[in-house]
Structures are given as C-alpha cells and as structure tokens.
C-alpha cells in the first residue's frame, strides 16, 4: 500500500474507544452476561423483563407469532399502563417521590410533581374525560406544549383505555386535522399556548382551524379541553370548548382503573412515510410498556433511588413517549421536563437546569449537540455538571466529532455515551452500547441490546460479512414493536415486511465494521431526517404542489452541517404564475410551513424550467441532490433529456 493510501485507510477507521468507568461497570444494571442469557432463551428473557410491571392477570403465552407480521405479546395478560406508571409507586410508599421537576421557560416558573400528586391529577383528568364522553377505545388527540398537563392527559387516556395521539405542537392546523381525521378523534386536548423563545406562542387557534378543516369532510370534534398556560386571548366556541380548570380541577381524585388486555391499543403516533400520507403507528399496552421500561432501565443504567433523568425530547415525538413518559414513570424515576428552547433566556439554560437538579443521566439529539458545539465550550463550562454519569444520543447518526465533544464538554470525559438507534415503529431502543459493558466507538450504535436480533443484509436479504454495508433488518419480533398501521394492515405489510420476507425492514442503510459493530448510514428511502425529525420528500412535494402557482415540485434532503439534512426544493411554476413574483421563494416556504409545519420549510427553493426525469418519467433525485449539495453532477445517461441538468446548473450559478 502506498503511504498515501495507508494514511487514507487509517483516517477512515475510527480507532478511539471509550471503556466504561470501572465503578459503573461493577454496579451496572445490565452486564455482559445479559447477552448470553437472552441468546440462550429469548422469550424467557422477555418474560423476565415483563415482571418489571404489575399485571392484574398474568399472560398465558409470551409471544404469539402464528400470523406474522401480526404479533401478540404477553397473550392473555391484563394490565393498566397508568396504574403501572403511577398508582403502584404510591401504593409502594413512594408517593412523596418527585416524578417530574418541571421547568417552564420563563425563569422561576417551576413545579415539582410527586407521584402522589401525579396520581391525583391523572384520576381527576380521567374523571373529567369520562364526563366529556370519552370511552374505552375512543381516540383522543393531544396538541400541547411541554407542560405537566400533557403527561397527565396521556396517562388519563391510558387509564381509560382510550388511545391517545399526540401531535407535535410545531405541526400546522392542516397536519393536525389530517391526524384527527385519520384516527377519528372526537376530543382534542390543547392549551391556549406555551412559551417558546421568551414569548407566548399560540396553540388553540390551530386547533380551531383544524376542527373547521375536519368539519368540511364531515368529521365533528365534539369537545376541546383547554389548559390555560399563557393567558393569551383565544377564540371560544361555547358548546365545544371547555377549560381544564373548570372540569379537571374540581373532579374527584378517586378513580377506579380497569385492567385491559395486553394487546389493547395504547397510542397512535403519526410519522412520515415515503408517500404524502403520514402513517399512524399503533402501539399496544403490555409489550410496549415492557420494552420502554426495560430499555430505560438497562440502556441508561437507571437507579431509581438516586438518579435524576432528563430526556430533552418533545412529547410530540416517540422519544418523548418512551423516555419522558412511559419508561421513566414505569421505573419510578425522577425526571426533569423542560418547556422551552435551549437558548432562552441564555445559551446555557440546559446546563443551568442540569446543575440545579443534579441531573445524572441526560438524553438528547445530535442536532442539539452540534448546535452547542457551535456556541462554544465556555458555555457548558460555567456550570457544575459533575453528577452526570451517562449521556445518550438519538434521532440520527452522531458524527464522531460531536460524540467526542459531547463526552468531553458535557460529560467531563467520564461519562459513557450511548448512541441509541430505534424508530417510532420500534417503540423502544434496539441497538445501543450498554454503558457498563461496551467500549464505545464514536459514531457507532454498536450492537443490538440483549433480547434483540438485528442484522445488516444485502439486496437478496443475505447477511453481509463484517466490513460490508447493506440494509438494517430485525430478524425476530420484539415486545414494543408496532402492531400495524392504524386502519391499514396492507400498508403495514408492504412497508415493513415485504422487502425481505420474514424480516422487518427499517428503511435505514447500515454497515458492519471489521469487529461486527453496526454503523447507521441514514435512510435508504425518500424519507429525510431534519434535526432528528422524519419528513418525507413526497409530503413536502405535495405541500408545494398544493400552492396555486406551482405546477411541479421535487424535494431532496441535502446534507446540512447543523440539521443533518435539510429539505431543498426544485419547483416548476405554472404558466399563469409568470415568474412567480419577487417573493415567490418566501411565499412557497411559508406555504410549506402552513401545510406541514415550520420544520419542513425548504432551506432552499429553486425555480426551474424542467426537472431531470428518466424516460419512464421518474424524477432523478440523485442528480438534484448533487446540485443541492453543490457536487459535480453524476451520471446523466438515463435522463430523457440530458440538457436539463445544464439548465439547472446555470440557474444555480445565477442564484448563488
């Protein structure tokens, strides 16, 4: 090998390893033998994990996989998720323990909620929701900021066996309406607004608008329950809208909970797929709660007596469901929950909170880590974060430099970093280092956790050798797996189970390194990952095409130093729109924000005369990605008209 080639080979090989600290390893919840135990008898291992919960009726069978891909876990078992998250801890004498140190964005607006208080609030909300007509099986939509009432509402729904669907507060009225309609929710819980970046930001107007949109298709929302958070002025529909303080506050704290079948639906969470229509991922009660509790305990090495856990995710995403709400509460953890943005009122706000509450385990996303890196080491250095002992990352691949910075600047060079791979569909972490076992490699999610069977396969579905890349698959069912897509079993089969027969196809590319450790390489479908949030190219294209001036649109996810990927759009205007006018780009960006949400706003919009298409009419996104990432344009031989790229290239030069 030439000297230069050798240098290159070494550069692309990550040699840094971070061994677990000795004290953590000695006392770890999960040790190396867990891998062997789970491999020897996987179902017995999961059965043991199910004993973390309180069951009213014990299951008869651990897994029913007789009709794949439709799984049933802990068959015949009965339990209540809210009882497991709250009541049983109070009954065990932990009522005075803090469940949440809640921190509002305005300084000094804080509230500690004990398990006993949480139990009272959940019971009151369950009684109030019943008054409003919610029955077992009914879907309830939740569109809320990060306030305690959001958790209370989710648990109240779980207590009643009414599946919730939480819609991220950053989503638009249109997006909210489509979710309300898809899962046929008749009751919506919201607030007047929440605090973001130092100012009240409204939520209720979007609910009003969503109800009006739904009404047009014949779908009536009968009740909207509204928490007063900011006190801002809002419109009010007398027969439909109800204040939380009028119905929940005076309700009884007594509520007898019912126990539901292990497979009773717990929630539906919408996520972007490869078509314009979001998919309603269905999670059920027993398996999901077992998976969330087990991974929260094992991957973060949670010691409920002494740890203070903080997952910064918004409850509107699956990470918030599993690691702000269900996992930590099932494990009787004490958690921090923060309402606002990391830079309000100053860029050290998160670290100030870590210091104040003595946070020991911290879980966030690479996009946030990269932002802090940009802001500089001196900001976290001002705070005492010496109690931190485990750091976690989720949502997208973490670049090795960000990993190393995170470990050093936040973790004082002591803390293991667990890079956790999972999805809305998987419900729980599946691939991750274990903090007391694994010598972490920056950038690698390492290996499947005990109980999980994952692999990287080639186009034919064969396992690739170490040192090669392919597609990430799961080869055995796991308890928190999605059960189906709400109302669409066929799409469930097509999306996840048809690419490789008998295996779950995650949609992610991955490689195994020479040691067999897994590196995630990003999506292999038309889904992009923007700041850890999934957006589909088709969804943004549909939003653009719904604008009266747009004839055609193509969207690609271009690499972005801060957000991982950023949407870049190429649009063809309608003849009638002329050149679209001076503000066409701003107009279209705002239109996308209105249709989907601000997070989907294209970073860049280029008005073009043609789009590169194959002879069969498929848009060649690969070429557009080359343009968006300012690369040399790749192979154009399959283009129907090869001059198209020259035109786009010229337009690009003119616009930059």
Summarize the annotated binding site for Mg(2+) as residue ranges: 545, 547, 550
Among 187, 248, 445, 628, binds ligand 6R9 (CB under 6 A): 445
Closest CA to 433 of 350, 507, 506, 519: 519
Binders of ligand 6R9 among 456-495, rule CB under 6 A? none
Residues 649, 636: Cα–Cα separation, whole Å = 13
CB distance 558 to 626 below 8 Å: no
Q: Binding segment for ligand 6R9 among 129-137, 501-509, 547-555, 597-605 (CB under 6 A)?
A: 501-509
Among 159, 164, 223, 523, binds ligand 6R9 (CB under 6 A): 523
Using CA atoms, how far residue 494 sits from 94, 499, 500, in Å, is: 46, 8, 10
255 vs 523 by CB, closer to ligand 6R9: 523
285 vs 420 by CB, closer to ligand 6R9: 420
Token readout for 352 is 């100030």
293 vs 605 by CB, closer to ligand 6R9: 293
When asked if residue 517 is in the footprint of ligand 6R9 (CB under 6 A), the reply is no
- What is the CB neighbour count within 10 angstroms for residue 262? 26
499 vs 534 by CB, closer to ligand 6R9: 534
Beta strand pairing status for 193-196 and 199-202?
antiparallel
Token readout for 340 is 């606002």
b/e per residue, 278-302, with b = 16+ CB within 10 A? bbbbbbbbbbbbbbbbbbbbbbbbb
Per the annotation, binding residues for ATP are: 395-397, 419-424, 508, 523, 534
394 vs 627 by CB, closer to ligand 6R9: 394
When asked if residue 530 is in the footprint of ligand 6R9 (CB under 6 A), the reply is no
Among 310, 350, 421, 478, binds ligand 6R9 (CB under 6 A): 421
CB of 449 to ligand 6R9, least distance (A): 12
Among 114, 117, 319, 537, binds ligand 6R9 (CB under 6 A): 319
3-state secondary structure of 548: coil
When asked if residue 193 is in the footprint of ligand 6R9 (CB under 6 A), the reply is no
When asked if residue 422 is in the footprint of ligand 6R9 (CB under 6 A), the reply is yes
330 vs 430 by CB, closer to ligand 6R9: 430
Residues 546, 36: Cα–Cα separation, whole Å = 54
When asked if residue 507 is in the footprint of ligand 6R9 (CB under 6 A), the reply is yes
Residues 327, 297: Cα–Cα separation, whole Å = 8
Residues 395, 367: Cα–Cα separation, whole Å = 9
Closest CA to 591 of 544, 550, 539: 544
What are the residues facing 522 on neighbouring strands?
Answer: 509
When asked if residue 442 is in the footprint of ligand 6R9 (CB under 6 A), the reply is no
CB distance 532 to 394 below 8 Å: yes
CB of 62 to ligand 6R9, least distance (A): 25
When asked if residue 508 is in the footprint of ligand 6R9 (CB under 6 A), the reply is yes
Beta strand extents in 31-161 (DSSP E only):
61-67, 70-75, 78-79, 98-103, 110-114, 140-143
257 vs 434 by CB, closer to ligand 6R9: 434
CB of 532 to ligand 6R9, least distance (A): 6
Residues 191, 292: Cα–Cα separation, whole Å = 27
Residues 287, 274: Cα–Cα separation, whole Å = 27
527 vs 619 by CB, closer to ligand 6R9: 527
When asked if residue 511 is in the footprint of ligand 6R9 (CB under 6 A), the reply is no
CB distance 202 to 193 below 8 Å: yes
When asked if residue 506 is in the footprint of ligand 6R9 (CB under 6 A), the reply is yes
When asked if residue 423 is in the footprint of ligand 6R9 (CB under 6 A), the reply is yes
Binders of ligand 6R9 among 279-318, rule CB under 6 A? 317-318
Token readout for 456 is 């990287």
- What is the CB neighbour count within 10 angstroms for residue 603? 16
Give every CB contact of residue 216 below 8 A, 6+ residues apart in sequence.
Answer: none
If you search the block for the tokens 């604008």, which residue do you land on? 547
When asked if residue 396 is in the footprint of ligand 6R9 (CB under 6 A), the reply is yes
Q: How many residues bind ligand 6R9 (CB under 6 A)?
A: 23
104 vs 320 by CB, closer to ligand 6R9: 320
Alpha-carbon dihedral 215, 140, 488, 271, rounded to 10 degrees = 100
b/e per residue, 359-375, with b = 16+ CB within 10 A? bbbbbbbbbbbbbbbee
When asked if residue 419 is in the footprint of ligand 6R9 (CB under 6 A), the reply is yes
CB of 526 to ligand 6R9, least distance (A): 13
Per the annotation, binding residues for CoA are: 196-199, 319, 531
CB of 393 to ligand 6R9, least distance (A): 6
* Maximum CA extent, the chain: 79
When asked if residue 529 is in the footprint of ligand 6R9 (CB under 6 A), the reply is yes
Give every CB contact of residue 295 below 8 A, 6+ residues apart in sequence.
Answer: 322, 327, 428, 429, 449
CB of 527 to ligand 6R9, least distance (A): 8
Binders of ligand 6R9 among 532-551, rule CB under 6 A? 532, 534
CB of 329 to ligand 6R9, least distance (A): 18
Among 265, 287, 395, 567, binds ligand 6R9 (CB under 6 A): 395
CB distance 363 to 311 below 8 Å: yes
When asked if residue 397 is in the footprint of ligand 6R9 (CB under 6 A), the reply is yes
Give every CB contact of residue 656 below 8 A, 6+ residues apart in sequence.
Answer: none
Binders of ligand 6R9 among 632-651, rule CB under 6 A? none
Among 175, 247, 481, 520, binds ligand 6R9 (CB under 6 A): 520
Show the site string, 335-374: x = touches ligand 6R9 by CB under 6 A, - = not: ----------------------------------------
Distance, first Cα to last Cα, the chain: 41
CB of 404 to ligand 6R9, least distance (A): 16
When asked if residue 268 is in the footprint of ligand 6R9 (CB under 6 A), the reply is no
Q: Binding segment for ligand 6R9 among 79-87, 135-143, 388-396, 563-571 (CB under 6 A)?
A: 388-396
Residues 153, 225: Cα–Cα separation, whole Å = 10
Token readout for 289 is 């709660």
507 vs 597 by CB, closer to ligand 6R9: 507
Per the annotation, binding residues are: 196-199, 319, 395-397, 419-424, 508, 523, 531, 534, 545, 547, 550
When asked if residue 441 is in the footprint of ligand 6R9 (CB under 6 A), the reply is no
What are the residues facing 279 on neighbouring strands?
Answer: 271
Residues 191, 149: Cα–Cα separation, whole Å = 9
Residues 556, 567: Cα–Cα separation, whole Å = 6
Q: For binding to ligand 6R9 (CB under 6 A), which residues are involved?
A: 271, 317-319, 394-397, 419-424, 445, 506-508, 520, 523, 529, 532, 534
């Amino acid at each position: 090998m030439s000297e230069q080639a050798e240098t290159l080979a070494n550069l692309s090989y990550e040699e840094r390893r971070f061994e677990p600290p000795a004290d953590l390893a000695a006392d770890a919840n999960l040790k190396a033998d867990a891998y062997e135990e789970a491999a020897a008898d996987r179902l017995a291992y999961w059965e043991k994990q199910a004993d973390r919960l309180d069951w009213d009726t014990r299951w008869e069978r651990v897994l029913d996989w007789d009709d794949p891909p439709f799984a049933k876990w802990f068959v015949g078992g009965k339990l209540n998720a809210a009882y497991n998250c709250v009541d049983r801890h109070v009954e065990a004498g932990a009522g005075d323990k803090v469940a949440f140190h809640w921190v509002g964005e305005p300084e000094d607006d804080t509230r500690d909620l004990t398990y006993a208080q949480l139990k009272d609030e959940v019971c009151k909300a369950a009684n109030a929701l019943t008054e409003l007509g919610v029955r077992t099986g009914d879907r309830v939509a939740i569109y809320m900021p990060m306030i305690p009432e959001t958790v209370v509402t989710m648990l109240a729904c779980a207590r009643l066996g009414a599946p919730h669907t939480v819609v991220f507060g950053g989503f638009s009225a249109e997006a909210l309406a489509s979710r309300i309609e898809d899962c046929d929710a008749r009751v919506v819980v919201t607030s007047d607004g929440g605090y973001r970046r130092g100012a009240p930001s409204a939520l209720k107007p979007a609910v009003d608008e969503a109800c009006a949109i739904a009404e047009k298709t014949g779908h009536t929302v009968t009740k909207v329950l509204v928490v007063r958070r900011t006190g801002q002025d809002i419109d009010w529909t007398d027969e439909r809208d109800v204040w939380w303080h009028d119905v929940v506050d005076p309700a009884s704290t007594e509520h007898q909970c019912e126990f539901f079948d292990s497979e009773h639906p717990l929630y539906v969470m919408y996520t972007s797929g490869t078509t314009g229509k979001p998919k309603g991922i269905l999670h059920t009660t027993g398996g999901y709660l077992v998976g969330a509790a087990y991974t929260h305990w094992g991957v973060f090495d949670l010691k409920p007596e002494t740890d203070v856990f903080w997952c910064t995710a918004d409850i509107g995403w699956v990470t918030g469901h599993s690691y702000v709400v269900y996992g930590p509460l099932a494990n009787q953890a004490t958690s921090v929950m923060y309402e606002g943005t990391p830079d309000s009122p100053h860029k050290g706000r998160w670290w100030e909170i870590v210091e104040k509450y003595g946070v020991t385990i911290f879980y966030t996303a690479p996009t946030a880590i990269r932002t802090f890196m940009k802001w500089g080491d001196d900001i976290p250095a001002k705070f005492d974060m010496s109690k931190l002992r485990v750091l976690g990352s989720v949502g997208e691949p973490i670049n090795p430099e960000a990993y190393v910075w995170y470990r050093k600047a936040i973790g004082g060079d002591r803390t293991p970093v667990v890079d956790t791979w999972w999805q809305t569909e998987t419900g729980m972490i599946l691939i991750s280092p274990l903090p007391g076992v694994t010598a972490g490699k920056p950038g690698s999610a390492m290996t499947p956790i005990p109980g999980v069977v994952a692999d990287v396969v080639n186009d034919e579905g064969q396992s690739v050798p170490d040192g090669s890349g392919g597609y990430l698959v799961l080869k055995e069912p796991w308890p928190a797996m999605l059960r189906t897509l709400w109302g669409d079993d066929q799409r469930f089969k097509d999306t996840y189970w048809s690419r490789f027969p008998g295996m779950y196809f995650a949609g992610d590319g991955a490689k195994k390194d020479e040691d067999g450790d897994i590196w995630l390489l990003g999506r292999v479908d038309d889904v992009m990952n923007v700041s850890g949030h999934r957006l589909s190219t088709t969804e943004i294209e549909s939003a653009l095409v719904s604008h009266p001036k747009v004839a055609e649109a193509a969207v690609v996810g271009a690499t972005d130093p801060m957000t991982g990927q950023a949407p870049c759009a190429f649009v063809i205007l309608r003849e009638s729109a002329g050149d679209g006018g001076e503000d066409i780009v701003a107009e279209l960006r705002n239109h996308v924000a209105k249709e989907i949400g601000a997070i989907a706003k294209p970073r860049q919009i280029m008005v073009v005369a043609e789009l590169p298409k194959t002879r069969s009419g498929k848009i060649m996104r690969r070429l557009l990605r080359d343009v968006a990432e300012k690369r040399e344009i790749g192979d154009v031989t399959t283009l129907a008209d090869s001059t198209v790229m020259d035109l786009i290239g010229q337009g690009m030069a003119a616009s930059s």
